[in-house]
């Protein structure tokens, strides 16, 4: 390639790549692409002796660390027992001339098919490689690790390396190699699982699909609703053109609605799960599939809520910069002069705006803390009680602050007839429905009669069980009874 991922300057600057330790385990690599270069760099840094097989060693030697030997493919195969096959599927056949030298070797397939190739071929790349070289042991591994992760180190990427193969001993060797490189090997079973492993890099944010569709649907709904109220109604009934509000004002009015509803949808499934457990009297029955999937997507929904709230804050900062805002300000000043009003000050509105903005900042700050602690690097540094406190308790506090923020924004507007345009209620009244239900349901679950029963259920008590269960705080001991 004209511009390699790892430059020779970077390679030469690292003293650990200059010379391989004597007696180090030898590993071979067939291929000279970006992944092969990154793989060679990581192997050398992990203490391995690396031999790279190339069709043109003189041309590609300068792209690899000095400690790596770049030789012809035949020499690389002869000197190594574990060989990484870092070439595309269509080039596997070019290695058939090395069949006799590869006999008995462990081949580690690191390739990934394109989406079209994955649908076109019934067998995985690893299975195809095993069919071409039946005398070799093929192991699928490292295909989910990017070249950048290999170059920067596992601390900057996913540490898990799925491994599958038909020979346990070969998988053990590759697992030890992955562990020595700083990764966590995960045994995925036989080579038949390679197709599933190869499909992983083809997925584009699979856990974000439903939350993203939900957020987009909510935004389209609130945007259309605000368009009808704030733009279409003045144009139809008053002849005023306010279409200039579409790019910024209507968007800014819709974003907080989406963020607020999404945040309430993060905690609604927990309420439904608790109610279901109370009704069933046990925790040992599965939730419905829709509720189970909803619970699994709470993190993504919460992050999208934070994203919309952050955008709302940025859009709000931009509002005073608009030319239309300046025109409105000048028109208000002219109107004040024409009406001979020397002082415009409504104490109630001043206090309402101050409280409204303060609550909004507090809600966004709390939501930011939730978003930060959802990062794996931060979450892994917290114990379960700390993580639960931030995500559950502080999350509910963020929902309450957002509700107060919305209520102070609306104030008495819900009771003013002029606010109902085309007989449609103000937008904030719609957004309050789900959050208020969640807050009231949460308050009910905090009642001692329900909270104690729910705690007993989650500790293993069952309604129809013959086991008498008491919480640790009770003085009476749990007794077992029999129907016999």
Residue 136 forms part of a structural domain: yes
- With beta carbons less than 8 A apart as the criterion, state whether 106 and 165 touch: no
Residue 3 forms part of a structural domain: no
- With beta carbons less than 8 A apart as the criterion, state whether 76 and 55 touch: no
Domain CATH number, residue 377: 1.20.120
- Model confidence pLDDT, tens digit, residues 236-247: 999 999 999 999
Question: Does the model's pTM come out above 0.75?
Answer: yes
- Residue 436 scores a pLDDT above 90: yes
Q: What is the DSSP string of 336-391?
A: HHHTT------HHHHHHHHHHHHHHHHHHHHHHHHHHHTSHHHHTTS-HHHHHIII
Provide the angle, in degrees to the nearest 10, between the axes of the packed helices 433-445 and 249-280. 30
- Model confidence pLDDT, tens digit, residues 294-337: 999 999 999 999 999 999 999 999 988 888 878 888 887 787 77
Claim to verify: residue 263 and residue 294 sit in the same structural domain? yes
- Model confidence pLDDT, tens digit, residues 368-395: 999 999 887 788 888 989 999 999 999 9
Claim to verify: residue 263 and residue 155 sit in the same structural domain? no
Claim to verify: residue 38 and residue 159 sit in the same structural domain? yes
Claim to verify: residue 132 and residue 251 sit in the same structural domain? no
Claim to verify: residue 275 and residue 182 sit in the same structural domain? no
Q: How many domains are there within the chain?
A: 2
pLDDT of residue 12: 47
Domain CATH number, residue 189: 3.40.50.720
- Pick from 445, 412, 442, 444: nearest CA to 429: 412
DSSP secondary-structure letter at 66? T
Q: Which of 200, 226, 256 is the last residue of a domain?
A: 200
- With beta carbons less than 8 A apart as the criterion, state whether 215 and 262 touch: yes
Whole-angstrom distance, CA of residue 91 vs CA of residue 349: 73
Q: How confident is the model at residue 277 (pLDDT cuts 50, 70, 90)?
A: very high
Q: Which of 152, 178, 200 is the last residue of a domain?
A: 200
Claim to verify: residue 59 and residue 182 sit in the same structural domain? yes
Q: What is the DSSP string of 211-244?
A: HHHHHHHHHHHHHHHHHIIIIIHIIIII----GG
Mean pLDDT score, 32-47 = 93
Provide the angle, in degrees to the nearest 10, between the axes of the packed helices 249-280 and 289-296. 130
Q: Do the bridges between strand 69-72 and strand 137-140 make them parallel or antiparallel, or are there none, so unpaired?
A: unpaired
Claim to verify: residue 364 and residue 321 sit in the same structural domain? yes
Claim to verify: residue 145 and residue 210 sit in the same structural domain? no
Q: How confident is the model at residue 215 (pLDDT cuts 50, 70, 90)?
A: very high
Length of the chain: 484
Whole-angstrom distance, CA of residue 120 vs CA of residue 475: 67
Residue 40 forms part of a structural domain: yes
pLDDT of residue 470: 54
pLDDT of residue 206: 87
Claim to verify: residue 381 and residue 237 sit in the same structural domain? yes
Residue 476 forms part of a structural domain: no
- Model confidence pLDDT, tens digit, residues 419-429: 999 999 999 99
Q: Where are the beta strands (DSSP E) in 60-123?
A: 69-72, 82-85, 106-109
Q: How far apart, in Å, do the first and last CA atoms of the chain sit?
A: 79
Kindly report the number of other CB atoms within 10 A of residue 193's CB atom.
18
Whole-angstrom distance, CA of residue 63 vs CA of residue 1: 10
Residue 481 forms part of a structural domain: no
Domain span at 47: 26-200
Kindly report the number of other CB atoms within 10 A of residue 152's CB atom.
13
Q: How confident is the model at residue 19 (pLDDT cuts 50, 70, 90)?
A: low
Claim to verify: residue 137 and residue 255 sit in the same structural domain? no
Q: Cα Rg for the chain, rounded, in angstroms?
A: 32
Mean pLDDT score, 16-37 = 78
- Model confidence pLDDT, tens digit, residues 131-161: 999 999 999 999 999 888 888 776 645 688 9
Whole-angstrom distance, CA of residue 397 vs CA of residue 433: 17
Claim to verify: residue 233 and residue 165 sit in the same structural domain? no
Residue 479 forms part of a structural domain: no
Q: Which distant-in-sequence residues (6+ apart) come within 8 Å of 126 by Cβ?
A: 109, 138, 139, 140, 164, 191, 194, 198
Residue 89 forms part of a structural domain: yes
Whole-angstrom distance, CA of residue 47 vs CA of residue 117: 36
Residue 14 forms part of a structural domain: no
pLDDT of residue 13: 46
**CA angle centred on 11, ends 10 and 17, rounded to 5°:** 140
As a dihedral over the C-alpha atoms of residue 33, residue 34, residue 36, residue 37, rounded to 10 degrees, the angle is 110
pLDDT of residue 376: 79
Q: Which of 200, 215, 237 is the last residue of a domain?
A: 200
Whole-angstrom distance, CA of residue 168 vs CA of residue 161: 16
Claim to verify: residue 248 and residue 318 sit in the same structural domain? yes
């Amino acid at each position: 390639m004209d511009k390699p991922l790892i430059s020779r300057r970077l390679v030469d600057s690292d003293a650990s790549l200059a010379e391989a330790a004597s007696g180090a385990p030898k590993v071979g690599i067939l291929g000279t692409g970006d992944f092969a270069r990154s793989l060679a760099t990581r192997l050398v840094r992990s203490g391995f002796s690396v031999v790279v097989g190339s069709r043109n060693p003189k041309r590609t030697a300068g792209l690899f660390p000095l400690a790596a030997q770049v030789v012809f493919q035949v020499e690389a195969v002869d000197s190594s027992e574990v060989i990484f096959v870092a070439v595309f599927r269509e080039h596997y056949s070019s290695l058939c001339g090395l069949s006799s030298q590869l006999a008995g070797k462990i081949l580690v397939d690191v390739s990934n098919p394109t989406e079209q190739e994955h649908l076109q071929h019934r067998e995985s790349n690893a299975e195809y490689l095993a069919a071409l070289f039946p005398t070799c042991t093929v192991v699928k591994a490292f295909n989910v690790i990017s070249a950048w992760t290999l170059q920067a180190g596992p601390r900057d990427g996913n540490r898990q390396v799925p491994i599958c193969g038909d020979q346990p001993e070969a998988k053990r060797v590759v697992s030890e190699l992955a562990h020595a490189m700083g990764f966590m090997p995960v045994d995925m079973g036989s080579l038949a699982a390679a197709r599933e492993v190869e499909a992983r890099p083809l997925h584009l944010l699979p856990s974000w699909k439903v939350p993203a569709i939900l957020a987009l649907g909510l935004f389209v709904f609130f945007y259309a609703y605000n368009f009808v109220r704030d733009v279409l109604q003045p144009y139809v009934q008053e002849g005023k053109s306010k279409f200039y509000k579409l790019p910024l004002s209507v968007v800014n009015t819709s974003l907080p609605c989406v963020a607020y509803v999404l945040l309430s949808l993060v905690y609604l499934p927990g309420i439904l799960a608790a109610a279901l457990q109370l009704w069933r009297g046990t925790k040992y029955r599965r939730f419905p599939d829709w509720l189970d999937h909803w619970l699994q997507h709470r993190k993504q929904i919460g992050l999208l809520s934070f994203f919309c709230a952050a955008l709302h804050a940025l859009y709000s900062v931009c509002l005073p910069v608009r030319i239309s805002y300046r025109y409105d300000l000048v028109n208000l000043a002219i109107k004040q002069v024409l009406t001979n009003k020397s002082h415009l000050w409504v104490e109630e509105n001043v206090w309402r705006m101050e409280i409204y903005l303060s609550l909004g900042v507090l809600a966004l700050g709390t939501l930011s803390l939730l978003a930060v602690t959802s990062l794996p690097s931060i979450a892994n540094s917290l114990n379960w009680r700390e993580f639960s406190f931030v995500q559950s308790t502080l999350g509910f506090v963020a929902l309450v602050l957002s509700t107060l923020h919305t209520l102070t924004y609306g104030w008495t507007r819900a009771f003013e007839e002029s606010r109902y345009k085309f007989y449609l209620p103000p937008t904030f009244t719609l957004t309050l429905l789900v959050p208020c239900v969640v807050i009231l349901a949460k308050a009910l679950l905090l009642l001692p009669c329900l909270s104690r029963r729910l705690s007993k259920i989650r500790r293993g008590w069952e309604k129809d069980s013959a086991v008498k269960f008491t919480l640790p705080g009770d003085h009476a001991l749990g007794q077992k009874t029999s129907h016999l």
